[in-house]
Amino acid sequence: MTLGGCATQDYVDKHVAVVQGQVGDLQGKQAATDTHLTQVDQTAQDALNRAEAAGKLAEGKFLYSMVLSDDSVKFPVDGTQLSAEAQTRLMDFVQKLKSDNKNVYLEIQGHTDATGSEPGNIRLGEERAEAVRRFFNVQGVPLNRMSTISFGPDSPVAPNNTREGRAQNRRVVVIVMA
């Protein structure tokens, strides 16, 4: 009976040691996981802080914008030439920039309707934005204070299934930033 008890005790000790080793391994893995989660949480918090700071910085940069749409500027379908009416509006805008006498930066965004091919619309949006940029430059706005970007048909302000909607989507937006 004593021998049977010792054999059982040895058996239990061996199996308990194995289980205790497995528990120790799991505790080590849990500690590593906790450490990793703490690092991920800190990284996420750092990213959130940076994003909030960037948002606050950007809020102070935007001053105002002007939209040159088909109803006021009359970009012809597939055209980039500025009409006399568009040049008058742009000249008023240039005078406002000069009278404000601020060192501002202009982002000139070209947009199109959804008719035509995607690459063609991207090109057309860029050409419209460039036409406005060239006009501003001729009026004395330095080129290094302006950039152009084409959104093509990707940022419509109206549905493209009506003539009026397509006309509204053919536009140039000038964003003025400090």
Length in residues, the chain:
178
**pLDDT bracket for residue 1 (50, 70, 90):** very low
Strands 146-152 and 62-69, by their bridges, are unpaired
Per-residue model confidence as pLDDT tens digits over 8-66: 777 777 777 888 888 888 888 888 888 888 888 888 887 777 777 666 555 556 667 77
DSSP 78: T
d(CA 21, CA 13): 12
Per-residue model confidence as pLDDT tens digits over 50-109: 777 666 555 556 667 777 665 555 566 677 788 788 888 889 888 888 887 677 889 999
Output the six-digit token pair for 51: 């994003």
Position 118 scores a pLDDT of 92
Task: Specify whether the CB–CB gap between 111 and 152 falls below 8 A.
Answer: yes
d(CA 1, CA 139): 109
What predicted TM-score, i.e. pTM, was given to this entire model? 0.62
d(CA 144, CA 72): 27
Output the six-digit token pair for 40: 């991920």
Domain ranges of the chain: 61-177
Position 69 scores a pLDDT of 63
User: What CATH architecture is 61-177?
Assistant: 2-Layer Sandwich (3.30)
Q: Is 111 helix (H, G, I), strand (E, B) or coil?
A: strand
Cα distances (angstroms) measured from residue 142 to each of 26, 104, 150 = 65, 10, 20
Output the six-digit token pair for 171: 């536009």
Position 9 scores a pLDDT of 75
Per-residue model confidence as pLDDT tens digits over 105-163: 899 999 988 988 999 999 999 999 999 999 999 998 889 989 999 999 998 988 989 98
d(CA 68, CA 171): 5
Output the six-digit token pair for 20: 């205790």
Position 70 scores a pLDDT of 53
Amino acid at 69: S
Task: Specify whether the CB–CB gap between 70 and 156 falls below 8 A.
Answer: no
Lookup result for tokens 């204070």: 145
